[in-house]
Amino acid sequence: MTIPDTMRAIAIEEPGGPEVLVEVSEPVPAIGDDEVLVRVATAGVNRPDVLQRQGLYPVPKDASHLPGLEIAGEVAAVGKKVRRWSAGDSVMALTHGGGYAEYCRVHEAHCLAVPPRLSLIEAAGVPETFFTVWYNVFMRCRLAAGETFLVHGGSSGIGTTAIQLAKAHGCKVITTAGSNDKCRFCEDLGADLAINYKTADWPRKVRSFTNGRGVDVLLDMVAGPYMQMNLDSMALEGRYCIIAFLQGPTAELNMRVVLGRRLTVTGSTLRPQSVAEKAAIAAEIDARVLPLLGDGTVKPVIDSTFSLGDAAAAHELMESSKHKGKIVLVVGSG
């Protein structure tokens, strides 16, 4: 298929609400020697996309100005030094922006083969979410079989992924969610305990479930007022990881529990990491997670799909928090 000079894309007109997402015509990006050009079939919608649209998520200088951090599609062209991929290969990829478009350039080491079991719609829900969970929960916090894991926002894309991966590795899983329906949804995915944080004292329930011991690893996207409650919910030698601040980045904390229980407090963001750092995560995903996706042990949970031109509606749904799982834009044939 001939590669055109221009493509449809979604740009951010100015910082603001979903209405500032506008369809534009952009030049098809040129690729470097170690990059591939992907003809995008589907693109995942993520919280960082919303923050970027709002002007609250700085875009690295070398990144595309277009939103979109994960895609699935077909390799359309490869750079001179690319050896792993060829035109026509079906890939899912972590992007450096630019996913909300018909074509996207990606470093070859940030692409993964789409398992035959997955549709391209499902594949678009893998890279950003699975990279984030695997890197933070397993590479940084070393979650191991037999340990107890707590993730907030269990019905989100991150939450659904974390629940499944933790269960697949022999862990007990606790999660919080904002409704009884979402709690049942999380339990159906494998959570051993799902707590409605709007109606229940979740720290008390965590203590009761763990017989007062606490959890070994905690993945937090809430922060703010949850931070002290999270620290108080940790077991001896527990690892607490912060990846987002939905309730704000600051809190007044009593750190005695950190010393007394010998806790590790860590955190990360994915996008600013170097090409080599992201490639290392991709290699781990390839070796240790793709087999689980390939045999159906874990699976991206898709809530809904929108056309590329309906990106604003997709963002509205994301901000409403009514979704369960991933929101995906269908750009080409998904």
| C-alpha to C-alpha distance for 323 and 28, rounded to whole angstroms | 32
Q: Which residues pair with 92 in a beta bridge?
A: 72, 112
Contact in structure between 326 and 129 (CB atoms under 8 Å): yes
Average pLDDT rounded to a whole number, residues 29-49: 97
| 286-314 tens-digit pLDDT | 999 999 999 999 999 999 999 999 999 99
Q: How many domains does the chain have?
A: 2
Domain annotation covers residue 200:
yes
Give me the CATH number covering residue 219.
3.90.180.10
Answer with the one of 244, 267, 290 that is the final residue of a domain: 267
- pTM assigned to the model: 0.95
Question: Which is higher by pLDDT, 61 or 25?
Answer: 25
Cα–Cα separations (whole angstroms), residue 9 to 31, 67, 110, 113: 17, 9, 21, 24
Do 71 and 184 fall within a single domain? no
* 316 lies in the same domain as 249: no
Range of the domain at 19: 6-126+271-330
- pLDDT of 57 reads 87
Contact 165, 134 (CB under 8 A): yes
Closest CA to 90 of 103, 78, 72: 72
Closest CA to 266 of 130, 126, 147, 138: 138
Angle between helices 311-320 and 47-54 (to 10 degrees): 110
Residue 269's Cα: distance from chain center in Å?
A: 11
